Amino acid sequence: MLELIRKIAVERPKVLGTLMVLVGAVFVISMGWWGFSAYKTGKPGVVARINGTPLYATEFSRDYEIMKNNYQRLLNGALGKKILSELNFPGLVLRNMIFRQLWIDEANNLHLVVPDAVVVQEVSRIPFFQDGNPPVFSPKLYTQFLLETHQSAKDFEKSIREDLLVQRAQVLVRAIQTPAKPAGQPPTVLDDWQKNRLALQEETLQSFQMQLESSSNVKIDQKAFKKLSKSLL
């Protein structure tokens, strides 16, 4: 699998970049927080500003390790310094984080909200905070996680709220492309309709995301980014 990744990285870097950004977004949003619980914050340094919102070095380092660890689990193999450099992994992580912030901004522009009750429900579902048989939410494990990662419950739950905002904004964009379901058709026709619907929705999502990027104001501190990337590789 890693050999295939290397081959694509050389022959079709744009294809690989798109794939890793998309998969990375899924991992960071859906399982990143409990995939790397030992991360500890330090002094914040700004790597970039997305529409004025700062992206701190600590946040970048956290997401870098989250995505690296998740890809290693996905590929069932280590991603060494050489392949991470070939893939420009730091660049892919940065791009993924920029897109996440752009979606958060768009969700705010659309006046989308995530009620406190939904955030609490989402946190209680995280497997990392489950204990017992049958598993139930453990306040003790949650508190331990916050202490280990040097976070307040307010900050952590803010990040969960933002992830949910991203999901809601993307659901709305996907809903634009929802062709009418054919009635009274055999299963094969319905299967084709479902595949086409998903393809159209994904194309719409990517097109909209490119529009967000083209109209954004992103300023990257290249010196800080290169220094941080070098330390992480």
Q: What is the DSSP string of 97-159?
A: HHHHHHHHHHHHHTT----HHHHHHHHHH-GGGEETTTTEE-HHHHHHHHHHTT--HHHHHHH
Domain range holding 126?
2-232
Q: What is the mean pLDDT of the chain?
A: 79
Cis ω before 134 (30° cut-off from 0): yes
Q: Reply yes or no on whether the pLDDT at 39 is more than 80.
A: no
For the entire predicted model, the pTM comes to 0.77
Q: Half-sphere exposure (CA, 13 Å, Cβ side) for 183? A: 0
Residues 6 or more apart in contact with residue 185 via CB below 8 angstroms = 193
| Number of domains the chain is built from | 1
The segment with the largest mean pLDDT, out of 41-45, 83-87, 90-94, is 90-94
The pLDDT tens digits of the residues spanning 204-214 come to: 888 898 899 99
pLDDT at 70: 76
Give the CATH number of the domain where residue 225 resides: 1.10.4030.10
Q: Which amino acid is present at 218?
A: V
In this prediction, residue 35 has a pLDDT band, given cuts at 50, 70 and 90, of very low
